[in-house]
Amino acid sequence: MSFPPSVSRNFWGRDFDSPIMLASGTSGFGEELLDLQCLAGVGAVVTKAVSFQPRAGNPPPRLLETPFGLLNSIGLANPGVHHVLKHILPVAAGLPCPLLINVAGESVEEFADVVRVLEKSSAHIGYEINVSCPNVADGGAAFGVDPEVVLQVSRGVSRVTNRPFSVKLTPNGGDMVLSAKAAVKGGASAVTVCNTFLGMHMDWKTGKSVIKRKVAGYTSPALLPLVVARVWQVANAVSVPVISSGGVSTGEDVLQLLAAGATMVQVGTRLMRRPFAAAELMDEMKKLAGE
Ligand SMILES: Cc1cc2nc3c(=O)[nH]c(=O)nc-3n(C[C@H](O)[C@H](O)[C@H](O)COP(=O)(O)O)c2cc1C
């Protein structure tokens, strides 16, 4: 790799002018962005998680701002794979950039079951398999903490699709490098590093968590160094592209992640304050590069 890194990327055999992907859960299915004209600077969009059955999601509050970040407890709310296939993907197919579908499951088999249905669509170039979901059938710990389970999920998905897929790893337990290697062994064509960090907000007057599901996913610009370290560790351990996810708020953050070994860089929470973040980050990077 040459430094400073170029913002033009080759990922999954395609050329991208921008390394920026909109992170899962922060841009719906992308189709709502069509009217908002805020796709400038976006390399690709990752959809909200899709599960086999519709999911209502968690009770409110689902979002809680903290002084330095955001807690989210959405609970993978989505209308289910059949609705997504029939009603949402035909519209999302009109996006001017590639689409990846984020897939959730409660069992090893569910990931492959969802992908099998989605194979009927041509709206997307590939998948992001969210192994941060709780493995309900096996005690509720995230699939991603056990490399053997990650291997099974990855193998199951690669049996039902020829499209590329990334396995999105969890930072909450286990060894991310071992899980990344297992994902690749199972057929993954990328790994996403990583999902949200577990966080909590206690109501000290009642001794209860403000979030009904107790723990939530925490995102914050302060997590950037944790993500940079994990991207660097994983990128040095696997031969497939690494997609970074977490902590980005400036163009310099994106360049740091590319220098650490990320091929593509996701941006999520930043979009809630700055819907045009992708274009802004690209401008910042071009200025830094003197273009
Ligand atoms: C409101 C919200 C919903 C999310 N939903 C999903 C999801 O459905 N699937 C998933 O894999 N990650 C989900 N994430 C995690 C993001 O895709 C991303 O990995 C994380 O926010 C870190 O990036 P950021 O620091 O740029 O926000 C969600 C994050 C937020 C804030």
Residue 209 covered by a domain: no
Find the domain containing 171 and state its range: 9-57+76-197+221-288
**Ligand 1: which residue has its CA nearest to atom 12?**
24
Asked whether residue 221 carries a pLDDT value surpassing 90, the answer given is: yes
Residue 211 covered by a domain: no
Residue 42 covered by a domain: yes
Residues listed for the chain: 291
Task: Confirm or reject: Cβ of 25 under 6 Å from ligand 1.
Answer: yes
pLDDT in tens, 134-158: 877 777 789 999 999 999 999 999 9
Residues 104, 110: Cα–Cα separation, whole Å = 8
Q: What is the pTM of this model?
A: 0.98
Task: Confirm or reject: Cβ of 219 under 6 Å from ligand 1.
Answer: yes
- 38 a catalytic residue: no
**pLDDT of 94:** 92
Atom of ligand 1 nearest to the CA of 270: 26
pLDDT in tens, 259-288: 999 999 999 999 999 999 999 999 999 999
- Burial letters 95-132, b for 16+ CB under 10 A, else e: bebbbbbbbbbbbbebbbbbbbbbeebebbbbbbbbbb
Task: Confirm or reject: Cβ of 26 under 6 Å from ligand 1.
Answer: yes
From the CA of 291, how far away is ligand 1's center (Å)?
31
**Ligand 1: which residue has its CA nearest to atom 11?**
130
The amino acid at residue 278 is A
Helix intervals (H) in the chain: 33-36, 81-83, 89-92, 108-118, 147-160, 176-185, 224-235, 251-260, 270-273, 277-288
Residue 189 covered by a domain: yes
Residue 205 covered by a domain: no
Average pLDDT for 171-182: 97
Task: Using pLDDT thresholds of 50, 70 and 90, give the confidence band for residue 1.
Answer: confident
Spatial contact of 210 and 64, defined as CB atoms under 8 Å apart: yes
Residues 239, 184: Cα–Cα separation, whole Å = 8
Residue 51 covered by a domain: yes
Task: Confirm or reject: Cβ of 78 under 6 Å from ligand 1.
Answer: no
Q: What is the CATH number of the domain that holds 138?
A: 3.20.20.70
Residue 206 covered by a domain: no
Mean pLDDT of the chain: 95
- How many separate domains does the chain show? 1
Task: Confirm or reject: Cβ of 51 under 6 Å from ligand 1.
Answer: no
Asked whether residue 33 carries a pLDDT value surpassing 90, the answer given is: no
Enter the DSSP assignment of 274: -
Residue 67 covered by a domain: no
**Ligand 1: which residue has its CA nearest to atom 29?**
25
**pLDDT of 289:** 82
